[in-house]
Amino acid sequence: MNAFWIILTGSLVATCCSLLGCFLILRRMAMVGDAISHAVLPGIVIAFLFTGARDTVPMLIGAGLLGVLTTFLIEFFHRFARVQADAAIGVTFTWLFAIGIILISVFAGQVDLDQDCVLYGEIAYVPLDLIITEGGLSLGPRTVWMLVVVTFLIGLFIVLGYKELFLTTFDPAFAAAIGISTTLWYYLLMGAVSLTTVASFESVGAILVVAFLVAPPATAYLLTDDFKTMLGISVLLGIIASFAGYYLAVWLDGSIAGAIATVTGIEFLLAFLFSPSQGRLRRQKRVQTVGH
């Protein structure tokens, strides 16, 4: 049963991250996902200090606000301070993450959080924190329920906003010219990334979130020319990685999050080598046959 809950948790995180990641990589903003996943830390700590408990909703709000603040700061430094986009991302998120670390260490006595947990997560503990009804019936882990809700919200956001997200990603100037606000959809997308990050961070950690945001979409990009197919493939790849990563970790007796992230990397490598349209090996073969 524990294996089931762990794999389900991994798959739910993978689904949210892969869907949003497809938009991020096509906007050349994959590293903004990285930035948000780290920069939400002070938001979580502050929410914790205010409420004094590890409640989900205040944490989601605190982290969501910090996520949007991060994207705003990145835009601000890039546009008005005329710093390169990647430099703006680097400065912003390391600074916010560092503030989070200081807050944790200063209020260590009061805050039931630690840095390792934030970075690496502990997906193996997911099945321990169960929701148990008054009658003593177990409804399954708290984290899984929260992730089910978040996955549903992200799915709904992408289905309802599909054409706006698609258009503002492909051609923002045309979108603006026909009256679709690029700023609004940019911040909605970033809000969704913040929500996903904070919902996933305590179970899987920031590193696996970044892996899921970038690797499955990048792999799917190599495998298809159609955007909807790309969304589907990247979700599938994320779920496969959750399964394979779990059993790899059991076999190695190692970190589950680490193993899952490793599998996403292996998937990318395989696609890079063997993709029917973009694969290195196929392409070389094709060039040779044309050449002779």
Partner 1 sequence: MILQVENPVVEVHDLTVSYERKPVLWGIDLTLPAGALVGVIGPNGAGKSTLIKAMMDLLPVSSGYVRIFDQPLKQVYSRISYVPQRESVDWDFPASVFDVVLMGRYGQLGLFKRPRKADKDAAMEALEKVGMQSFANRQISQLSGGQQQRVFLARALAQNADVYFMDEPFAGVDIATETAIIQLLRQMRDQGKTVIVVHHDLQSASEYFDWVVLLNMRLVASGPTEQVLNQELLEQTYGGKLTLLSKVGDLLRKQEFPAREKS
Residues that bind partner 1 (CB under 8 A): 26, 160-164, 166-167, 170-171, 173-180, 221, 224-227, 229-230
Q: Please state the closest distance from residue 228 (CB atom) to partner 1, in A.
A: 9
How many CA atoms are closer than 13 Å to the CA of 26, on its beta-carbon side?
A: 25
Give the DSSP H or E segment for 171: none
Q: Is residue 185 within 8 Å of 161, Cβ to Cβ?
A: yes
Cα separation of 245 and 253, whole Å?
11
Q: Please state the closest distance from residue 19 (CB atom) to partner 1, in A.
A: 14
With respect to partner 1, which residue has the nearer C-beta, 140 or 161?
161
Q: Please state the closest distance from residue 64 (CB atom) to partner 1, in A.
A: 22
With respect to partner 1, which residue has the nearer C-beta, 93 or 157?
157
With respect to partner 1, which residue has the nearer C-beta, 47 or 220?
220
Hey, which residues does 130 pair with through a beta bridge? 141
Cβ contacts of 176 within 8 Å, gap of 6 or more: 182
Q: Please state the closest distance from residue 82 (CB atom) to partner 1, in A.
A: 8
With respect to partner 1, which residue has the nearer C-beta, 8 or 231?
231
- Looking up tokens 């999050």 gives 257
Cα separation of 253 and 93, whole Å?
33
With respect to partner 1, which residue has the nearer C-beta, 70 or 234?
234
Angle at 250 between CA 129 and CA 113, to 5 degrees: 35
Tokens standing for residue 92: 């912003």
With respect to partner 1, which residue has the nearer C-beta, 157 or 201?
157
With respect to partner 1, which residue has the nearer C-beta, 137 or 178?
178
With respect to partner 1, which residue has the nearer C-beta, 152 or 174?
174
Q: Is residue 13 within 8 Å of 212, Cβ to Cβ?
A: yes
Q: Please state the closest distance from residue 120 (CB atom) to partner 1, in A.
A: 33
Q: Please state the closest distance from residue 231 (CB atom) to partner 1, in A.
A: 10
Q: Is residue 213 within 8 Å of 21, Cβ to Cβ?
A: yes
- Looking up tokens 């020319």 gives 225
Q: Among the residues of 81-181, which ranges form H helices?
A: 85-106, 115-120, 142-160, 162-170, 172-177
- Looking up tokens 């990285």 gives 34
Burial pattern 19-29, b for ≥16 Cβ within 10 A else e, equals bbbbbbbbbeb
Q: Please state the closest distance from residue 147 (CB atom) to partner 1, in A.
A: 25
Cα separation of 26 and 226, whole Å?
13
Q: Please state the closest distance from residue 160 (CB atom) to partner 1, in A.
A: 5
